[in-house]
Structure 1
Amino acid sequence: MKLTFYKGDTPNFGDDLNNIMWDALLAPGFLDDNEDELFLGVGSILWDFLPKKPKKIVMGSGYGGYSGKPNLNDGSWDVAFVRGPRTAKALNLDPKLAITDAAILTRFMNLPAQAKKYKVSFMPHWESIGRGNWQKVCKQAGINYIDPTDPDVLTSLQAIQQTELLITEAMHGAILADTLRVPWLALEPIFPLHRNKWFDWSESMSIDLKFNATPSSSIKDLWSHKTGNRGLGKRSEQVGKLLNFTDSYFIDRAAEKLVLLAKKHGQMSNDNTFIERSEMAIEKLSQYCEVKSL
């Protein structure tokens, strides 16, 4: 059974969690390179372009609207659970299958405890790195920067554990903070298509999600805000180079806004809900896979 998740040219914290979490939870040899069966884990990977023939096991994945809706009635799908009620509704699944995002299973990785080191950390969406100046913004604001494109996922997890409050534009930043019981503040993703999946997850955890406005850290961020586009194409690149003299202005303003956000109280799911949902997820995993002794 082959582990299947989104792999782009740039590493991505949420997707790359698949590389370490399943190895920590599943018996050696359960996952292999046999493409007759696909194991779908963390990510918005319920795409309509997955190969039709292989059997597909869905273990907490979500539908993000990044493709057409897959036909889950073609006989090749076996859904253990999905990320949330919006995924279940979009794909005509039993609402009881909307447990939560698979990343909650990180609870059972037995990660070593970490002493608190940072009052506040910030994690942008991985696409925002190519468009913005977030590392410079964090340095100016005195806030720890967590790079979602760092391929060392364990280091990023440790940084979240060491944080008292995580401000994040990345959904899996919030999910992992919540799982590690670290309060978090959600920044509304600059690209609109990334927003609905946040509600899919938060509704699964009975969280009243409160988005905070994401400041622009560059002229390209502002361009993306105004157009609703990703702001990563050739035209945006040309605008960014032409107007790069504005960077200091945007960095200053974004740093000021992060400092203000850092004074707010974070969100987190209710302890009982978290325990209930994580136990439901590990039970589903145990029904389908050989799980290591936890």
Structure 2
Amino acid sequence: MKLFYYKDPIGNFGDDLNSLIWYNLAPELFDNDDSEVLVGIGTLINSRAPVMPTKYVFGSGVGYHQFPKIDDKWQFYCVRGPLSAQRLGIDPSLAITDPAVLLTQVLPNRPVRPTGMVSFMPHHASSRFADWKALCEKAGINYIDPAYDINETIFQLRQSRLVIAEAMHAAIVADALRVPWIPVTCYDHILDFKWNDWCQSLNMSYSPHTIASIYDMERNFTATEKIKTSVKRGLRKRGIWTENWTPPVPETNRFEMEDKVVAALSNLAQQASSCLSDEGKHFESIERLMEKLDVVRRDVARRSGGVYPRIAV
């Protein structure tokens, strides 16, 4: 079996949790046999999933791209939440929660010295739209880039007293680590469906705070790139355009929006009420996921003729 997940060219925290969690928690499941794949953390139940392999779905969700053709190549052990289960027409009991919560089962059980800092992580696409590190510095907030080294990111999340999250897996991991979090949206590419799917799995509601969209993508452009962007905008305004062309980046609005964004971040850090799932529900979801993982292990062992010991919760 191989591990299937989205691999961002520059890295993305939520997706990169897959290799850290699965290769540490259940390394015996994986080999070079590409006729089977484990579909784990991410919004991966869609038309872009590989067609030929048998897909063992463990906690993934529905949301992006076209809905896949569900056939006997799809084996569902559990999904992210009740909305995914409903869309798929599967047993509602298979809606447990996002398996990124299992990070707690592979981290060393040692205390981390809290710093009292407030951290912010944008969605990985949002991180490229503006200089969020500089914005956070002005707001007195610790910035965590979703492309940072995954171990450093986890360490900073553990040190935080509060996490402001546009990236859903920043919220999921913060919640798993029992660090309060606040959901925000800065741009319109944030998918409410997947947030609601996860939140409902833990009996929470999703009510994000809105931060104004800020664009400063041309700050690192070369002179040639700036000219190219200007030409594209001119052509588009004149109606000389086809959908096959790569669109120009959004126009810079940093000078108009910077103070608003900094103030919004600062106010959230100081005044907004935070979220944290019920502790009993949190630990119940971990136990249920671990039980499901034992089922996967037994099924794989049965097919291969091997025997795997039960995972202790």
Match of 2:59, SS? Answer: strand
Unaligned regions of 5+ residues in structure 2, if any? 218-245, 298-307
- Kept in 1, the 8 Å contact 2:186–2:212? The answer is no
Give the corresponding residue for 1:53: 52
Are positions 1:212 and 2:220 aligned together?
Answer: no
Are positions 1:94 and 2:91 aligned together?
Answer: yes
Give the corresponding residue for 2:262: 255
Q: How far apart are 1:133 and its partner, in Å? A: 2.2
Unaligned regions of 5+ residues in structure 1, if any? 221-232, 241-245
> What is the distance in 2 between the residues matched to 1:190 and 1:234?
17
Q: How far apart are 1:172 and its partner, in Å? A: 0.5
Are positions 1:134 and 2:132 aligned together?
Answer: yes
Are positions 1:236 and 2:244 aligned together?
Answer: no
TM-score relative to the length of structure 2: 0.82
Of 137, 145, 148, the match for 2:146: 148
Match of 1:182, SS? Answer: coil
Are positions 1:8 and 2:8 aligned together?
Answer: yes
Q: String of CA shifts for 1:153-182, please: whole Å, max 9, x gaps.
A: 111111011000000100001000000000
Higher relative contact order (CA 8 A, sep 6+): 1
> What is the distance in 1 between the residues matched to 2:23 and 2:216?
41
| 1:1-294 matched pairs, under 5 angstroms | 1-26=1-26, 28-64=27-63, 66-72=64-70, 74-111=71-108, 112-150=110-148, 152-188=149-185, 190-192=187-189, 194-218=191-215, 234-237=247-250, 239-240=251-252, 246-263=253-270, 264-289=272-297, 290=308
How many pairs were matched up? 272
Q: How far apart are 1:117 and its partner, in Å? A: 1.5
Q: String of CA shifts for 1:28-78, please: whole Å, max 9, x gaps.
A: 4421232100111100011223232211100100011x2211222x11111
- Kept in 2, the 8 Å contact 1:189–1:195? The answer is no
Match of 2:160, SS? Answer: coil
> What is the distance in 2 between the residues matched to 1:188 and 1:86?
20
> What is the distance in 1 between the residues matched to 2:211 and 2:104?
29
Whichever of the two has the greater Rg, that structure is 2
Q: Alignment identity in percent?
A: 35
Q: String of CA shifts for 1:84-119, please: whole Å, max 9, x gaps.
A: 011111111111111111111112113342111143
> What is the distance in 2 between the residues matched to 1:38 and 1:168?
30
- Kept in 1, the 8 Å contact 2:122–2:146? The answer is yes
Q: 1:56 to 1:187 in 2, by over 3 A?
A: same
> What is the distance in 2 between the residues matched to 1:4 and 1:217?
33
- Kept in 1, the 8 Å contact 2:139–2:266? The answer is yes
Q: How far apart are 1:293 and its partner, in Å? A: 5.3
Q: How far apart are 1:292 and its partner, in Å? A: 5.6
> What is the distance in 2 between the residues matched to 1:189 and 1:59?
30
Match of 2:103, SS? Answer: helix
- Kept in 1, the 8 Å contact 2:164–2:182? The answer is yes
> What is the distance in 1 between the residues matched to 2:46 and 2:294?
25
Q: How far apart are 1:256 and its partner, in Å? A: 0.9
Bigger mean CA offset, 248-257 vs 95-104? 248-257
Give the CA RMSD over aligned residues.
1.8
Q: 1:104 to 1:208 in 2, by over 3 A?
A: same
> What is the distance in 1 between the residues matched to 2:186 and 2:92?
26
> What is the distance in 1 between the residues matched to 2:190 and 2:161?
29
Match of 1:45, SS? Answer: coil
Q: 1:252 to 1:206 in 2, by over 3 A?
A: same
